[in-house]
Structure 1
């Protein structure tokens, strides 16, 4: 049986969740909505219009939701993306997984150019077998459709041949609904309890922590 791992990227491999939330907070403020950062962070699993619907009235959604989302995208890429840092241990973890015979795919809800930036930042271009973003799928169920597309790109027929690694309950739930087992990482800002409640079979701190404790993880048994 093929061994494959699908990594979510934001909050899992790179420390981007707070920066993306700050960009949403700043964009909302520009359009007259003052929202506390913890409230934005709590909605970070949602995408675009879904997130904005938590903070805008139906009338305002109609009037300027698209404009606000475009402003957020430009603001994040210009002011916040350059500040995103990788979590420690990512290249080392991926090299170890490749040595153990795993195929590796990256699945991101970000734009394709953001994912390419992260791959370059992490220095893992030669360590991945597939990548996908929200540009390739329908936006109604990103947490399921993006990893499903990654599975297809890896040439696998069954979701039970793959293991997902994610940092948000939303992404854990999507992987579980697809039939995958999922390992959670708390470096994305969510707690052990939230990730386990979403369906994670094990929880670790960071990619470096997962590598250090590899022998006690589900990965050590070949998935």
Structure 2
């Protein structure tokens, strides 16, 4: 493990085309509890964990008033959309390419456990990866670094281990910076290249497949 950088990959939005589904699910969940916010505002926060989104959206009062009910409903709305979520182009190819090069590979997700199980099946990834996380593993999710630290611990590694994050949002990059990981990103998060670079992305690709093709030009060569 010491000889190869550990690859820590986000699932939602990075490997699975799910960001816009999550934005819609949050919109519907908030409407259900009597709150309405523009979908574009919600989309800008996707990539944060569900424990962070409502406070970031409109402060601690919104979180206190509707947080638990909105999260529960959002999970149910995602349940209804799971069949429409599919792997992004080349997602499994990227996992195979990383493992072929001998890198330990862990998937770091703050999604609910039942959703992660579905995503693993969609990617046919259970036998490819060395571990994965869910929202049950941490108290604070991205942009807090906890999820990435737990992902490393799943492999018996520390935050000082050589590692690379692959994500799709500025929240992934911010979390990676807090543990000293370089962050490679794909554009499926819907953020502009300038935003991703300003946040600290070391490289940007259109799809997981494009990253797989260019892997020898990255820290995961």
1:126-205 equivalence runs, <5 A: 126-139=127-140, 143-205=144-206
TM-score, structure 1 length as denominator?
A: 0.89
d(CA) in 1 for partners of 2:141, 2:213: 37
d(CA) in 2 for partners of 1:132, 1:33: 30
Is this contact kept in 2: 1:103–1:129, CA < 8 A?
Answer: yes
Distance 1:122 1:76, change over 3 A: same
Shift, 1:147, TM fit: 0.9
d(CA) in 2 for partners of 1:33, 1:179: 38
1:29 aligned to which of 28, 31, 35? 31
1:52 aligned to which of 27, 36, 54? 54
Shift, 1:142, TM fit: 5.8
**Range that drifts further, 125-134 or 187-196:** 187-196
Secondary structure at the aligned position of 1:45 is classed as coil
2:74 aligned to which of 72, 75, 80? 72
d(CA) in 1 for partners of 2:43, 2:149: 25
Deviation by residue 1:52-80 (Cα, 9 ceiling, x = unmatched): 23556765544433222211111211x11
Is this contact kept in 2: 1:160–1:179, CA < 8 A?
Answer: no
Q: Which has the higher helix share?
A: 1
Is this contact kept in 2: 1:109–1:142, CA < 8 A?
Answer: no
Q: Any stretches of 5+ residues in structure 2 without a counterpart?
A: none
Q: Any stretches of 5+ residues in structure 1 without a counterpart?
A: none
Shift, 1:97, TM fit: 1.4
1:218 aligned to 2:219? Answer: yes
Distance 1:64 1:182, change over 3 A: closer
d(CA) in 2 for partners of 1:105, 1:120: 15
Is this contact kept in 2: 1:105–1:130, CA < 8 A?
Answer: yes
1:97-116 equivalence runs, <5 A: 97-116=98-117
1:40 aligned to 2:34? Answer: no
TM-score, structure 2 length as denominator?
A: 0.90
Q: Look up the match of 1:14.
A: 16
**Range that drifts further, 165-174 or 50-59:** 50-59
Deviation by residue 1:74-120 (Cα, 9 ceiling, x = unmatched): 1211x112211111112222112111111100000101111111010
